[in-house]
A and B are shown apart, each in its own frame.
Chain A
Amino acid sequence: MSGGLLEVERVAKSFAMGGLFGRSRFNAVDDVSFSVQAERPEILAIIGESGSGKTTLARMILNTLQPTSGVIRFRGEELSKARRGRRRLDFIRQVQPILQNPYEAFNPLKKVDRYLYASAVRLAGARSQKARGKLADAALQKVGLSLAEVKGRFPHELSGGQLQRTAIARALISSPALIVADEPVSMVDASLRMSIVNLFQRLRDELKVSILYITHDLATAYYISDRVIIMQKGKVVETGPAREILTHPHHPYSMLLKESVLSPDDVERGRLTLGPDGEATRRQPARNSA
C-alpha cells in the first residue's frame, strides 16, 4: 500500500478499573479514525482537555501501548507486527516522540549529549566517534543550536527552551517521517513558546516531517496546524481544517473549548469574576487607578 503515512482505523483502548469486585472498564480512546498522507507533510493538532485520551492515543501511535481494538498502520504495515527486532527499530527510526517536560525527558545525572550520541549510534548507524558527533551536530544545527553549546552539559545547565530544542534535535537524528509531540510547549515559558512552535513549522516546510501536535492550547494550534482533531472523553467530536474549525466550531464541546480560551484581547472586556449562578462572567474594572 502506498499513499498513507499513518492510518488510524477505529482504534479503541479501554483500561480496567476497580478491584476484584465491581470491576468496570474505562474507555480512554473510543473509535478514533484518521490518517496522515505521505506526500504532503502536515501538522495535525489533537486538541482536548486532560482526560480526553490524547496521550493514550499518542502512546498507541508510538507503539508502546496496544489498542484494545482497531488497527494502526504505518506506511501500510500494522504496528502490531513491528513490536520487536529489526522491524521495531525500523519503526522507531521513522516515528519519534517529543515529550511534555524536557526536564523529565532527560536523566538529570547524565550529560545531555549522551542521548544524542546514543540515538546516532543506535538509530542512524554511526560507527565512529566522529560520525556520531557529526550527526548530533547536524541535528542540533537544524534546531538552531550547535554541539559546542550542548556538549558536556547536564540538563540543569540548559534553559527550558534549549533543552526542549535539544529533545527535538535528538528526535531528528534518525530523519523521521513523523514526530509525535505530546504537549511540547506546555512546560515552556510563554516567551520561548513561539520559538518552539516556529521550529515545528520549519521542520514541516524544510525537512518534510509530519507532526502530530498534541495540545490543549488552541491559540498555538490555530497558529501552526493544518488540520485539527478535537477529542472529548476518548471520542473525536470534530475534525477538519484548523482555521475553519477553530474559527467556526460546530460541536458544542468545541464551542466550549473556544469560549474558554483566554485571549490577550480580553483585557478590554473586563476582569473575570463569578456570576450569581457560579458561572464565570466578566466585569469592567472600576476606573479609579491613576
Chain B
Amino acid sequence: MPQSGRDNASADGPRPAAEGALALAVDNLRAYYLMHYFGVEREVRAVDDISLVVRRNEIYGIAGESSCGKTTFLKTIAAAVRPPLTVIGGSARYGFVDRDIYALSPAELSAIRWRRLSYITQGSMNVLNPVRRVRQSFVDFAFRHMKLNRRAFFAAVEQHLQRLRLTANVLDAYPHELSGGMKQRVTIALATICHPDFIIADEPTTALDVIVQKDVLAMIRDAQQQFGSSMLFVTHDMTVHANIADRLGIMYAGRLLEEAPTIEIFKNPMHPYTAHLVASLPRIGEQSRKESLSGAPPNLADPPKGCRFHPRCPLAMDVCREASPALTTLAPGHRVACYSASPLVKPSATAERASRAEPVGMVP
C-alpha cells in the first residue's frame, strides 16, 4: 500500500474526530458528462454546484425525481468517476481522508473501499453472485479487507449476521432461494461487515413491497446505529425519507434546492418544488385531490437559464429567469435556493460562471 506520508491519509490511520464532526463535506461539486461526437461537443451538467455536509452518525437523505443527477452525485462521491463523466470542480472530502476522494490513486481507493466507505445498491440481485452460495459473496466482498484467516473470518461473519438478527444458514443458501427482502438484508449485512465509517445507500428499498420495506428500513437504521456509521440515503420516495432520514436535501436538475432537518422539510417547506412534493403525497384517510406538476424536468444537456425550476414553477418571477439563486441559510439548518422564499436569497456567483473549466483530478 502506498504511504502518503500523512497519517490520516492512509486507510489504516486512526479514526479521526469525535461526535459532531463531519463525515463528508462536499463543496461546490460539479461533475459533467463531457462528450465529443463528430466534432460536436456536448456537456450534460448532471451535478452542478452541490455543497452539503454529512455529520457523523446521521442519515442524510437525498430526494429527487429520476434524471435529476442523484446517481451521478453518488458516483462522484464514491469515486466511481469514469469518462465521459468528469469532475469539473469542487471538492468531496471524507472525515477519514484529507484529500478529495476522486484524487486518490486506485491502490489508496481500494484500501478505503468497503472498510471505510461501502455501498448498498438498489438491485440486490445484481450484487450477489447467482451461481455461488451467499458465503462466497462474503468472501468476494470482504475477506481481503478484514485481514483475518478463513476460520476467524467466517466466525466474524456469523457474529455480524447475528447482530443484524439474521440466521447463519443464509450463508449456505443460493440467492434464488432467498426472498427479495431477505436478499436485500444480506446486502445490508455485506455492506456493514467491515463497520464502515460511511455508507451510501442508493434506493435500497424501492423494489420491495410495503411489509418488507418497513422491516428493511428498520434494519438499515439499526445497523447504522450499532456501527456508528454515517449514511447518505437516496430515494425518490418521500415517505421513506420521512421514516429514516435525519436531514433531507432536495435535488432538482443537478442542483440542491433545499436542505433542512426532515421534520422541517415536511412541516415547513420553503421551496415551491419541495412544497409540491410534500403536498402531493397521498395519505390513507385523506381524499382531497392531489395535483401533479405540469411539464417535465429539464434536459440537463441544455438546462434553462436562471433557476432550473422556473419553467414549472407557479411562483416564477423575472429574476428567476435571469440568474440562478444561491442556496441560502434562512433558518437554523435550513438552506433554500429560491427567490420567493426570502429577499435574502441572492443570485449565485459561481453557478453561472463560464463552463468548460479544466477538468480536475480525473480518475484513470
A residues apposed to B, CB below 8 Å: 49-50, 159-162, 189-195, 197-198, 216-220, 222-223, 243, 246-247, 256-258, 260-268, 271-274, 278, 280-281, 285, 289-290
Contact = CB atoms under 8 A, between A and B. Distances in A.
Nearest to B332: A290
Contacts of A49: 209-212
Interface of B: 55, 58-59, 65-67, 165, 180, 209-215, 217-219, 221-222, 225, 236-240, 242-244, 246-247, 261-263, 266-267, 276-278, 280-287, 289-293, 296-297, 332-333
B209 A247 contact: no
Contacts of B246: 271, 285, 289
B266 A218 contact: no
11 contacts: A190-B65, A198-B291, A256-B211, A262-B239, A263-B284, A264-B239, A267-B262, A271-B243, A271-B244, A272-B244, A289-B55
A50 B284 contact: no
A171 to B, nearest CB: 20
A271 B285 CA distance: 22
Nearest to B20: A288
Given A49-B211, A267-B266, A280-B214, A222 B242 contact: no
Given A219-B282, A273-B218, A266 B263 contact: no
Contacts of A281: 218
B211 A191 contact: no
Contacts of A246: 284
Contacts, number: 143
B219 to A, nearest CB: 6
B283 A265 contact: yes
B211 A257 contact: yes
B74 to A, nearest CB: 17
B26 to A, nearest CB: 18
A190 B281 contact: yes
Given A260-B211, A290-B333, 20 more contacts: A190-B65, A191-B276, A192-B292, A193-B292, A194-B291, A219-B239, A219-B284, A220-B282, A247-B285, A256-B211, A260-B214, A261-B210, A262-B239, A262-B243, A263-B284, A264-B281, A267-B243, A271-B246, A289-B246, A289-B261
A285 B244 CA distance: 10
B11 to A, nearest CB: 29
A191 B236 CA distance: 8
A289 B239 contact: no
B214 A262 contact: yes
B281 A222 contact: no
A55 B287 CA distance: 27
Contacts of A271: 59, 221, 243-244, 246
B258 to A, nearest CB: 14
A253 to B, nearest CB: 10
Contacts of B284: 218-219, 222, 246-247, 258, 261, 263
A263 B247 CA distance: 17
A217 B278 CA distance: 17
A190 B236 contact: yes
A195 B291 CA distance: 7
Contact of B243 (A50, A191, A258, A272): A272
Q: Which of B263, B281, B284 has the most CB atoms of chain A within a 10 A radius of its CB?
A: B284
